[in-house]
Amino acid sequence: MSFANAILNDFSDIAALGALYDPNLSRMKAFSQLLKADIPCHQNFDQLVSENRPDTLIICTPDSTHDQLIELAFQNELDVIVEKPLTTTLEKVGKILRLEKIHQRRVTVAFNCRYMPLFLELKKLLMTKPIGEILSVNLEWSIDRYHGAEYFRRWHGELANSGGLLVHKSSHHFDLINWLLDDVPTDVSAFGSLQYFGWRPDKPYGRNCRSCDHRNSCPLVHRPDWEGMEPLYFQAEHEDGYYRDRCVFRPEIDIFDTMNVQVRYRRGTQLGYSLSTYSSSEGLKLSLTGTEGRIETEKFFRGSLTDSPNHAIRVGSGFGKTFQKRTLEIPPAEGAHSGGDIRMFGDLLGESDRNPWNQKADSEAGTMSCLIGIMANQSILSGRTERIPSCGQIMGATEDWSIPGRLPGQSSITLSRHEKLH
């Protein structure tokens, strides 16, 4: 909906929405009506291409299907804009990178954090090296219980669909740090658990909220809060069996709701990252410590626990008697995702690649962000620090392969097919 509205209302001078493609015809037609635009609906991709002659396919489907649709686009000589994450498994990452090289087409990944004014100003600041070389980064991201529940009642709650939140959600955050540091992650170690959502003997449980006996007492009952819920989902579920209001305590949930990750980068910087999905507040705290000082910022969307300015970057430099501090106030931006969406759409839909801050993310950026999450999941299961492969290693991957070049004292690991990893 965000992409479509942007094309129809904000960037109609540089882009046109030609057609929709989805296996669920009822949902597609409802989507077209919600847009208040007569958009052709197709269930046959060859017909879509022959009748509409598109240039680009925008993929906003469940994460595990991205590779299939990228392949379909490339076979029809289309470029691709794909919602984050790029994909969900090592095998699919390798497939996408190889297809991009074979077909000589382009994948661009939608990372709106790069376009939020707060983070763009931080990027500009870091390019001047105000705290010297960055040695340590800490990023704490909390999702409130209302927002968090959405991930567990939808398709995201199954690892096979989303790769878990370390891939689906955290790829946003990992890409942000990769971009700010302009560096490549090399190793990851992680812990994860399912502590709040998922099945418990003492929790209420039903197939979906509309038919549940506990709907009047459950604190997380789904209450539709926008006009599209009924036509897009409830009236379309007979075609594919997708229930938009599934129970957040159902036994099929197999992703984590509590995650802590440590990442090491090529130049030696270390990242400490945490994600929780059931907080009373929603927002982030970010700190970067360098050889000559420290930078701190935070942004809360709901339920802030601090009185500090919500759009400020605090810089401290020097030590002891030479210590100095300054605060950069960043005016709040209007629009979805703190003003990031509208800026991102303008950049992604435009033809120019000239951006001094490298905000348009290519397949390599998409790869490195989702690989942190994929290998963090592997680390949680193995109990070991895992090496993050390079794009070249992944493109040369076979069914079973080892990653060379581990640090002294670390044993090599063998990565098998993604079914075994899960």
Lookup: tokens for 93: 């990452």
Please give the residue range of the domain that contains residue 73: 2-112
For the chain, the distance separating the N- and C-terminal CA atoms, rounded to the nearest angstrom, is 32
Q: What angle do CA 223, 229, 231 make, to 5 degrees?
A: 140
Asked whether residue 328 is assigned to any structural domain, the reply reads no
In a domain, 275, yes or no: no
Contact of 221 with 209, CB cutoff 8 Å: yes
* C-alpha dist (Å) from residue 4 to 36, 61, 253, 327: 11, 14, 31, 38
Contact indicator for 46, 69 with CB cutoff of 8 Å: no
Q: Which of 112, 142, 168 is the last residue of a domain?
A: 112
- Rounded Cα gap, residues 289 and 131, in angstroms: 7
Closest by CA position to 96, among listed 389, 173, 105: 105
Residue 303's pLDDT is 73
Whether 241 is in a domain gets the answer no
The answer to whether position 266 is within a domain reads no
The residues near 56 (Cβ < 8 Å, ≥ 6 apart) are 78, 79, 80, 81
Tell which of 96, 112, 128 closes a domain: 112
pLDDT tens by residue, the chain, 422 residues: 999 999 999 999 999 999 999 999 999 999 999 999 989 999 999 999 999 999 999 999 999 999 999 999 999 999 999 999 999 999 999 999 999 999 999 999 999 999 999 999 999 999 999 999 999 999 999 999 999 999 999 999 999 999 999 999 999 999 999 999 999 999 999 999 999 999 988 888 888 999 999 999 998 999 888 888 999 999 999 999 999 999 999 999 999 999 999 999 999 999 999 999 999 999 999 999 999 999 999 988 887 766 655 679 999 998 888 899 999 998 888 888 878 889 999 999 987 666 789 999 999 999 999 999 999 999 999 999 999 999 989 887 543 333 333 332 333 333 333 333 33
Q: Which of 69, 87, 112 is the last residue of a domain?
A: 112
414 within a domain of the structure (yes/no): yes
pTM above 0.85, yes or no: yes
For residue 131, tell me if it sits in a domain.
no
Q: Count of domains in the chain? A: 2
Residue 310: the pLDDT is: 65
Q: What is the pLDDT of residue 81?
A: 97
pLDDT at 226: 84
Angle at 199 between CA 196 and CA 205, to 5 degrees: 110
pLDDT given at position 413: 35
Rounded to whole angstroms, the Cα distance separating 139 from 328 reads 19
| DSSP 8-state code for residue 208 | B
Q: CB 238: neighbour CB atoms within 10 A?
A: 10
Q: State the pLDDT at residue 339.
A: 80
Kindly state the tokens that stand for 259.
Answer: 């995650």
133-170 pLDDT, tens digit per residue, is: 999 999 999 999 999 999 999 999 999 999 999 999 99
- Contact indicator for 283, 267 with CB cutoff of 8 Å: no
Q: What is the CATH number of the domain that holds 33?
A: 3.40.50.720
Task: Look at residue 398 in the predicted model and tell me its pLDDT.
Answer: 42
- State the pLDDT at residue 418: 34
Query: Is 69 a member of any domain?
Result: yes
14 assigned to some structural domain: yes
